[in-house]
A and B are shown apart, each in its own frame.
Chain A
Amino acid sequence: MKITKIVPRLIWSALIVSILGACGGGENNVTIGNRESVLHWGNGDEPQELDPHIITGVPEHHLMIALLEGLVLKDPTTLEPIPGVAESWTISEDGTVYTFKIRDNAKWSNGDPLTAEDFRWSWERSLLPALGNQYSYMAFPIKNAQAFSTGELTDFSQVGVKVLDKLTLEVTLNNPTPYFLQLLDHYSMFPVHRATIEKHGEPGERGTRWTRVGSFVGNGPFILKQWDLNKVLIVEKSPTYWDRDTVKLNGIHFHPTQNITTEERMFRAGQLHYTNVVPPEKILNYRENNPESLHVSPYLGTYFYRINTRVKHLSDARVRKALALSIDRKSLVKNVTKAGEIPAYTFTPPNTLGYTANLSESFNPEKARALLAEAGYPGGQGFPATEILYNTHEGHRKLAVAIQQMWKKELNVEITLLNQDWKVYLDTETSGNYEISRAGWIGDYVDPNTFLDLWLKDGGNNRTGWSNEEYERLVFQEAPQAKTQEARYEAFRKAEQILLDEMPIILVYTYVSKHLVHPSVKGLPGNLMDYPSYKNMYLSDESQSGLQ
């Protein structure tokens, strides 16, 4: 039969082609990238979308700051607001009216001029209830923005955003909001190109094709060139960007590196300049053998445990304090997490734009035992079995096991562990069906407010059932109306003291950001928000040694 001859031939041809394909090769991405000024960036996950008013994640954030730009940028080291599309701004004496002067050479990538109206329209779109923008609250300091986003108000002209002339935008706030300029660098406040969006659908429609290659029009330092699903997203230097002379990179390849072990191997093989994270088990090795590639810096986030204060035995602050005091955080970061995390004694990470709360008490097992006895559980007797809930992850498990052991050793209480898949865990935690639950909070902007407004009574992110009237007064009334930054911080300090005294949460550590960075990458100073500034980054050809 003929087929018996054809099949083996086909098989052999395919084999030969595959084997021949193996020959050649040689240069890796890093070598080629350094020569051509193209950065290979491990970006964590496949981006959901490129619509700044829809997306929610860090990988998307990286793409957005390459493709779009807001009125204000952040200094890559200090994170202080610096001019972006707005070349300057003035703030009224009472701190509620901001007037932005947009630069006349700011352009969209298709050559259209960028105007104040572009911002007004974009912010209106980002607040449209139908769009379902999960970060619409970034605009809530603006007068009437919240009412518009919930549909209570339908006339956007009543929202505090006014176009004074082609290049002047006036924004009126509800209250003085010292961190308002920082919010303008969040992607949900970025401008979008009206004509492109309207060409592909309604402004409030999700998932239209305006974000595709060939359609996307941006105003950032780079333009979208190629997007291969789950493979790579390529951007190239924009010829229309106002500050194009500063941009040194010719392009960036964003690789969706979901598996952190694979990402680390790609880095070692010279496929990536930068990794999104570092596998915890590799940190020690890099620290000893390749310290110049390991970048670890403090990160604006706190790892903690929520305590459900609606559960009877956990409703007693003495019990919660006893649990907190019997955790040896220094030992946890040294022996369990091992990446240089900082033991947390305040909820707001220390030195958040000059703010540091009074430290809560550190490891004190004797006091913990006394408090537990005072609460009616001497020597842990009669203490109900309590469960720690965490989302399935090896790091969370290790930490929970260590804390379980500490509580057993110091307080003689029985703790069980329950891990759940991420979405189930969220469901359990939100519905209040837990006792103690692991959590993390990353600040949206560098200001204590992003940490302290979490504990609003019935706030969606509180989930502990805890509330305190004085706390709410300090955070939501006294701080916003404070005349000076010092007075404002003092109000926050008092509020945080209440939080740490009542302990509806147990602090564990302050996060650090961890990346592997090839020595050829320059202009990437670590900062508290782990915020890369691609326009200031460049590749130096000097360090070609590789990292084999």
Chain B
Amino acid sequence: MLRFILSRLLQAVPVLLVVITVTFFLIHSVPGGPFSADRAVAPAVMKALNAQYKLDLPVWQQYTSYVGDLLTGDLGPSFKYPGRSVNEMIYAGLPNTVELGFYAMLVAVCIGVVAGVIAALKPNTKQDYIPMSLAMIGICMPSFLLGPLLVLVCGIWMDWLPVSGWGDIPGDKILPALTLGSAYAAYIARLSRGGMLEVMSQDYIRTARAKGLSEWVVVLKHGLRGGLIPVTAFLGPAFAGLLSGSFVVETIFQIPGLGRFYVQAAFNRDYTMIMGTTIFFSTAIIFFNLFSDVLATWLDPKLRQQFQGGK
């Protein structure tokens, strides 16, 4: 297992290097620079700005200089926010994005697994159709629609929950978590239904029932573990997706997270910020994929045996 993890980590190095290189040259080839503005910038001012951020060097020299700084952990200064370093901005936004992602994942798993299992227990009945139809709606409804809808109903009409903020007013984390988590809940519901359907027809489930165990024990103890393997495989990439895809929800609910920086940086041509956030999210995706593979292996006895046999 350790060898598996190490080899995956080693594979990540060239992947990251490709990501860095491609992103770097792509953003430098896009028209419009970080300092272009509606009001013409005087040539002397533009020269001074370019010199301060090394933009007067040839692109390859900028690249080597950037990679050199990166090796020391320095992601550079933000172009748009002159007083902030990219490291500092990621450090400031990340805890909120991770917290939002965590709550959203919680919502997704709780709702998704329950709906999926309920549906799988009585396939092709109302008990199956209703949660699965809701799941389909959840998948189809984008967060930029669901978010404002929830705000309108729960925040403005009913006045139950705050319409924006993060940690300012009690309960202001509920609507963002629901909005971000619901689409993933829908995916998880469909995955767990499929997984459970397959597992519940296995021999060992029949054995468990034959032992006289109650249906609850059969489902929760024996069924879930196998039935949720597809879900765990999905969790890693899903969490990475929650982190990098939280932009819309962060914007709707005024959450000071990383997602907003990520998207705004592209519009602002904030080169260092684009690089920093891209590197960060790529690393997160690689890490969470690895994590979900390891988790799936741990849950699946067949795969676990393969690794133990290969030792």
A: residues with CB less than 8 A from B are 11, 14-15, 18-19, 21-25, 46, 48-51, 54, 56, 129-134, 136-137, 149-151, 206-209, 211-212, 228-231, 255-259, 261-262, 265-266, 268-269, 271, 421-428, 430, 440, 459-461, 548
Contacts and interface: CB of A to CB of B under 8 A. Distances in A.
25 contacts: A11-B110, A14-B102, A18-B103, A18-B173, A18-B174, A24-B170, A56-B39, A134-B45, A136-B42, A207-B84, A228-B92, A230-B92, A230-B93, A231-B254, A231-B256, A256-B254, A258-B251, A268-B163, A269-B156, A269-B163, A423-B32, A430-B40, A440-B38, A461-B40, A548-B159
A47 to B, nearest CB: 8
Contacts of B162: 25, 269, 271
Contact of B163 (A151, A228, A266, A428): A266
Interface stretch (B74-82, B129-137, B273-281): B74-82
Contacts of B264: 258
Contact of B31 (A51, A133, A257, A424): A424
Contact of B156 (A56, A231, A265, A461): A265
B136 to A, nearest CB: 25
A261 B251 CA distance: 10
B80 A262 contact: no
Given A25-B169, A265-B156, A424-B31, A229 B83 contact: no
B118 interface: no
Given A14-B106, A229-B84, A422-B267, A130 B52 contact: yes
B37 A262 contact: no
A211 B170 CA distance: 31
User: How extensive is the interface on chain B, given as a class?
Assistant: 35 or more
B156 A262 contact: no
A271 to B, nearest CB: 6
Nearest to A462: B40
Nearest to B166: A231
Contacts of A231: 166, 254, 256
A49 B81 contact: yes
A427 B36 contact: yes
B190 interface: no
B83 A212 contact: yes
Given A130-B48, A134-B37, A23 B83 contact: no
B267 A421 contact: yes
A423 B48 contact: no
A548 B44 contact: no
Contacts, number: 171
A164 to B, nearest CB: 30
Contact of A259 (B82, B93, B252): B252
Contacts of A256: 254
B171 A24 contact: yes
A268 B156 contact: yes
Contacts of A51: 82-83
A440 B38 CA distance: 9
B89 interface: yes
Given A14-B106, A548-B156, A206 B38 contact: no
Given A130-B52, A421-B267, A548-B159, A459 B32 contact: no
B267 A257 contact: no
A46 B261 CA distance: 10
A377 to B, nearest CB: 32
A206 B251 contact: no
B256 A228 contact: yes
B51 to A, nearest CB: 8
A257 B254 contact: yes
Contacts of B93: 229-230
Contacts of A11: 106, 109-110
Interface string B43-63: 011101101100000000000
Given A129-B48, A265-B164, 11 more contacts: A11-B110, A23-B171, A49-B81, A49-B83, A230-B256, A231-B166, A258-B264, A262-B251, A421-B32, A423-B268, A425-B32
A206 B106 contact: no
Contacts of A149: 42, 44-45
Given A134-B41, A208-B83, A209-B83, A25 B171 contact: yes
Nearest 3 pairs between A and B by C-beta? A460-B40, A423-B32, A22-B171
Contacts of B31: 423-424, 427-428
Contacts of B174: 18-19, 21-22
A207 B44 contact: no
**Taking each of A21, A133, A230, A271, which has the highest tally of chain B beta carbons within 10 Å of its own beta carbon?**
A230
A262 B249 CA distance: 11
B48 A131 contact: yes
Given A24-B170, A423-B33, A426-B38, A266 B164 contact: yes
B152 to A, nearest CB: 8
B269 interface: yes
Contacts of B164: 262, 265-266, 269, 271
B180 interface: no
Contacts of A24: 170-171
Contact of A206 (B44, B52, B160, B267): B52
Nearest to B250: A230
Given A48-B82, A259-B251, A426-B32, A459 B106 contact: no
B30 interface: yes
A136 B254 CA distance: 34
Interface string B130-168: 000000000000000000100100011001111111100
